[in-house]
A and B are shown apart, each in its own frame.
Chain A
Amino acid sequence: MSAENSNNWPLWEVFIQSKRGLEHKHVGSLHAADAQMAIENARDVYTRRQEGNSIWVVPAGAISSSQPDDAAMLFDPADDKTYRHPTFYVMPEGAKYI
């Protein structure tokens, strides 16, 4: 397999919805020349074992991400704020995806 060829194609991030009503989850990335090819490639690479109900592809370059160095500032302050967790409620029976 030629690495040169794959490098010519842009990278796409793939999100798969496993069941209607659930969120699309990031499953990985792949190379494709355009969005249509990315969807077909995602179908072949990531939904071979019935994982999928719907596919999203996003150009990897379109995703902005937080900096690892900022992790402490961004996330640590939530550590001691247990009152933000919905643990003080009784969950209705049968509600799986809240």
Chain B
Amino acid sequence: MSRPGTGFDPRSDPIMSTALFTYALRLGDDLLILSHRLGEWCGHGPVLEEDIALANRALDHIGEARNLYDYAVKVEGKGRTEDDLAYLRAERQFVNTKLVEQPNGDYAHTIVRSFLFDAYHLPLAEALTRSSDAQIAAIAAKAVKEAQYHLKHSSDWLIRFGDGTEESHRRAQEALDALWTYTGELFVQDDVHEAMVKAGIAPDLSTIKQAFDATVDRVLAEATLKRPADGYMMSGGRQGKHSEHLGFLLAEMQYLQRAYPGAEW
């Protein structure tokens, strides 16, 4: 990737500007939707300490999502706000991966979902610190330390579950087998992403996939869990085609702004 400040401003080109808007939205939507899922545990965590840990993570994700939305609306230049993006878009306008919208399930599902995302998010954030887009690079730089802790937290729990009791091992393996089909979408490189790679804004996802594979193999080995085979991989989330779960999530998340437009507190 080229260094920041090499002179090319993607926002001066309408096609690039749209792609950059979409890219920032994809990054932000993954974080917002995962954050909402983790927030659903608040008050329901298995123990008080984990309840707080998940809420902390959720707030980290929201913080990064807000930065990305704030940048996206500036790139778009239509006077929308971060709240408009979060609360006033319909299901088909969200471009998060299907992985993050999957229901919490048991704690193994929640941990595996976060682990798979963290194993992708950390190397991505590290690569984005070298983005040619100074704003994307700055947002990523802030996120890296948080992402390191997220990966440590989810890895530790996955190892405890996998290398724990018979029941915890079984549940962790079931969660892994169920969610693995959603990992392929994280690394799909379509036209929007290709444009970002060409402009030096985003990394080639094959490099992120290598880091993801290394993390997954290392942690699963320690957890004595079996890596599922790469069979059919779900996709479509990046194009706004979601699983049935996202609509329910948005109904709850957006209720207040839909029922009382413009409400503030």
Residue pair B47, A40 in contact (C-beta under 8 Å): no
Per-position 1/0 for A31-50, Cβ under 8 A of B: 11100110011011100100
Residue pair A31, B45 in contact (C-beta under 8 Å): no
How far in angstroms is the closest Cβ of chain A from B111? 13
Q: Does A2 lie at the interface of the complex (its beta carbon under 8 Å from any beta carbon of B)? A: yes
Q: Which residues of A contact B152 (CB under 8 A)?
A: 40
Q: Which of A2, A33, A41 has the most CB of B within 10 A?
A: A41
Residue pair A1, B156 in contact (C-beta under 8 Å): no
Which of B50-58, B120-128, B137-145, B250-258 has 4 or more CB atoms under 8 Å from chain A? B50-58
Inter-chain CA distance A19–B51, complex, in Å, is: 27
Q: Closest residue of chain A to B56, judged by CB?
A: A44
Residue pair A33, B45 in contact (C-beta under 8 Å): no
Q: Does A53 lie at the interface of the complex (its beta carbon under 8 Å from any beta carbon of B)? A: no
Residue pair B46, A44 in contact (C-beta under 8 Å): no
Contact partner, B49, options A2, A36, A45, Cβ 8 Å: A45
B22-48: which have CB < 8 Å to A? Answer: 43-48
Q: Does B170 lie at the interface of the complex (its beta carbon under 8 Å from any beta carbon of A)? A: no
Q: Which residues of B contact A2 (CB under 8 A)?
A: 46-47
Q: Closest residue of chain A to B47, judged by CB?
A: A6
Residue pair A1, B44 in contact (C-beta under 8 Å): yes
Q: Does B160 lie at the interface of the complex (its beta carbon under 8 Å from any beta carbon of A)? A: yes
Q: Closest residue of chain A to B45, judged by CB?
A: A1
Q: Does A16 lie at the interface of the complex (its beta carbon under 8 Å from any beta carbon of B)? A: no
Number of residue pairs A-B, CB distance < 8 angstroms: 41
Q: Which residues of A contact B153 (CB under 8 A)?
A: 40
Residue pair A48, B56 in contact (C-beta under 8 Å): yes
Residue pair A1, B160 in contact (C-beta under 8 Å): no
A1-43: which have CB < 8 Å to B? Answer: 1-2, 5-6, 9, 30-33, 36-37, 40-41, 43
Q: Which residues of A contact B46 (CB under 8 A)?
A: 1-2, 5
Chain B interface residue number, banded: 10 to 19
Q: Closest residue of chain B to A48, judged by CB?
A: B56
* Contact of A44 with B47 at beta-carbon distance under 8 Å, contacts A33-B160, A37-B156 already known: no
Inter-chain CA distance A9–B47, complex, in Å, is: 10
Q: Which residues of A contact B156 (CB under 8 A)?
A: 36-37, 40
How far in angstroms is the closest Cβ of chain A from B240? 34
Inter-chain CA distance A13–B95, complex, in Å, is: 44
Q: Which of B43, B47, B48 has the most CB of A within 10 A?
A: B47
How far in angstroms is the closest Cβ of chain B from A44? 4
Q: Which residues of B contact A36 (CB under 8 A)?
A: 156
How far in angstroms is the closest Cβ of chain B from A35? 12
Residue pair A32, B56 in contact (C-beta under 8 Å): no
Inter-chain CA distance A48–B146, complex, in Å, is: 12
Inter-chain CA distance A41–B160, complex, in Å, is: 15
Q: Which residues of A contact B45 (CB under 8 A)?
A: 1
The 6 closest A-B pairs by CB, nearest first: A41-B49, A44-B53, A6-B47, A44-B52, A44-B56, A45-B52
A-B residue pairs in contact (CB < 8 Å), sample of 27: A1-B43, A1-B45, A1-B46, A2-B46, A2-B47, A6-B48, A9-B47, A30-B49, A31-B47, A31-B48, A31-B49, A33-B160, A36-B156, A37-B156, A40-B53, A40-B152, A40-B153, A40-B156, A41-B49, A41-B50, A41-B53, A43-B149, A44-B52, A44-B53, A45-B49, A45-B52, A48-B56
